[in-house]
Amino acid sequence: MLAANLIIASAAIIALLGIVHLIYTFRGNKFHPRDADLMARLQAVSPVITRQTSMWKAWVGFNASHSLGAILFGAVYGYLALLHHAFLFQSTFLLTLGFLLLASYLILGKLYWFSVPFRGILLASILYAAGWFAQAWTQ
């Protein structure tokens, strides 16, 4: 049960980061640029791929979809670890996929984000790896 609890803790951290990120995407100004002129330009300029949106709308959409991905990871892996841990720990595919997603988030966090999400993802990754290791150790 230790292994499952470690995965649940990992999933909860990622889900919480996703929820906070989603709230910040639609409430307040935490993801707004500090420069009001830049905000106006982002709202007025479209990307090369299409004129059907603005850079600002694309930014909001990317942030929202990114949040939903983190929430989905937390929900799926938390659910599997809580209610179907035998299935999860018997699936090398699911365990590897979860770890690769966390590793990808960790790299992105280091290269492009700031310390709070990076540290949260690092902790979640350590807990996930510890859960996987604890399960392998007890077999």
pLDDT in tens, the chain (139 residues): 999 999 999 999 999 999 999 999 999 999 999 999 999 999 999 999 999 999 999 999 999 999 999 999 999 999 999 999 999 999 999 999 999 999 999 999 999 999 999 999 999 999 999 999 999 888 7
Residue 58, domain member (yes or no): no
Domain count, the chain: 1
Q: What is the pLDDT, as a whole number, of residue 94?
A: 98
Cα–Cα dist 53/76, whole Å: 32
Residue 117, domain member (yes or no): yes
Residue 46, domain member (yes or no): no
Residue 37, domain member (yes or no): no
Residue 57, domain member (yes or no): no
Residue 53, domain member (yes or no): no
Are the beta carbons of 30 and 103 closer than 8 angstroms?
no
Q: What is the pLDDT, as a whole number, of residue 11?
A: 98
Closest listed residue to residue 93, CA positions, set 132, 121, 139, 137: 132
Residue 51, domain member (yes or no): no
Structure tokens at 97: 């996929």
Residue 13, domain member (yes or no): yes
Q: What residue numbers bound the domain in which 68 lies?
A: 2-26+64-138
Cα–Cα dist 11/16, whole Å: 8
